[in-house]
Structure 1
Amino acid sequence: MAIASLGAVVLDCPDPRALAAFYARVLGGSVEGEGDWLDLKVPGGPTLAFQAAPGHVPPRWPAPEHSQQFHLDVTVEDLDTAEKEVLALGAKPLDTEDRSRTFRVYADPAGHPFCLCAC
């Protein structure tokens, strides 16, 4: 028996509205709330929340001396198409050179790592 259920995955960031808009374009869903806390209600998935953190320092990837803390795996039909779209939205490539792999690593506009993963 579980003690709890997952309510949301929360990302600290300097601008919750901008980061929520980025992930809404990547994942779909609707952004709810205002101010220092916003929720992205993702169809068929958990809520992704964004909390204002004025002193936010993005994780460094890869850097063993600086923990990445967590990352999101986002499943896509076509890696090349999805890559073009997330880069146009402001993502930055972190580890995308090996095109034979089934994943590529990026940073969102606030610096959090995420992977595009082929289904």
Structure 2
Amino acid sequence: MNKTSIIDTAVLKEKVQEYAMKVGRISARPVLLLYFIMISKDTPKSDKLLILSTISYLVFHVDLISAKRLPIIGWIDEAFSLSVAYQKVCKNITPEIERKTDELLDKWFPEYTNYIKVFD
């Protein structure tokens, strides 16, 4: 039996890309790693739900604490949710997920890739 997903991963990936363009390559890397862990067949459903809720909280415009009203405190809740999810599921990061993440980041941020090649 072929199960269909209720999550449109293509839309979520687009939102992750929009988020990445705002925060930059280095800050986007953990979010993208979480995305690839979430879509992996080997990841337990409980971890997928944790990752989905974390990514959704980051990329969709819903904040418990407004970053516009309280700039520093407004970003702490997002950083906290990301770090908790990352610590919980980082055991699921495989070399394949690392490779996919780096390839996609190179595609999204080609200027960074060219910058690194200059200094190698």
| Short-chain TM bin | under 0.3
Please, what TM-score do these two structures have when normalized by structure 2? 0.24
* Larger Rg, first or second structure (1 or 2): 2
More strand by share: 1
More helix by share: 2
Please, what TM-score do these two structures have when normalized by structure 1? 0.24
Greater relative contact order: 1 or 2 (C-alpha under 8 angstroms, separation 6 or more)? 2
